[in-house]
Amino acid sequence: MEFGEFMGLAVAMGSIVAIVGILTKTYLRRLEHKERIAEIRAQAPVPGQADRSDVIERLEHRIRVLERIATDKSENVAAQIEALRDERVPLSAPAREIV
């Protein structure tokens, strides 16, 4: 290998090392930026979150009532199920008797 070939190889290797270094720094900056954006989004209130919590609360209440009906051995289970179907009747209202 002659001196000119050696210098060409050294320049090529130096260029590759420099390019890899630049790409690494760029990637790390991009990764930090994505992490900051994720943190900001996690701290920001989500629009509609209050609506979701209301829906979740209503569903949990409904599940508790259904569990109570499913495990209740009394005779008015059918009346309670009908009360659940009728949205105008509150869940805490006494059950109607079916004649």
* Segment 56-97, tens digit of pLDDT: 888 999 998 888 877 877 667 777 677 777 755 454 545 554
Q: Are residues 33 and 54 in the same domain?
A: no
pLDDT value, residue 91: 47
What is the H or E stretch that residue 35 is in?
A: helix 3-43
> Of 44, 62, 77, which closes a domain?
44
Q: How many domains does the chain have?
A: 2
Q: Are residues 56 and 98 in the same domain?
A: yes
CA-to-CA distance for 29 and 72, rounded, in angstroms?
Answer: 61
pLDDT digit string, tens, across residues 40-61: 988 877 676 667 778 888 899 9
Mean pLDDT of the chain: 81
pLDDT value, residue 49: 67
Q: Are residues 62 and 76 in the same domain?
A: yes
Q: Are residues 11 and 36 in the same domain?
A: yes
CA-to-CA distance for 71 and 62, rounded, in angstroms?
Answer: 14
Q: Are residues 13 and 60 in the same domain?
A: no
> Does the reported pTM lie above 0.75?
no
Q: Are residues 39 and 52 in the same domain?
A: no
Structural domain boundaries, residue 96: 47-99
Q: Which residues of 33-72 are buried (b: 16+ CB within 10 A; e: fewer)?
A: eeeeeeeeeeeeeeeeeeeeeeeeeeeeeeeeeeeebeee
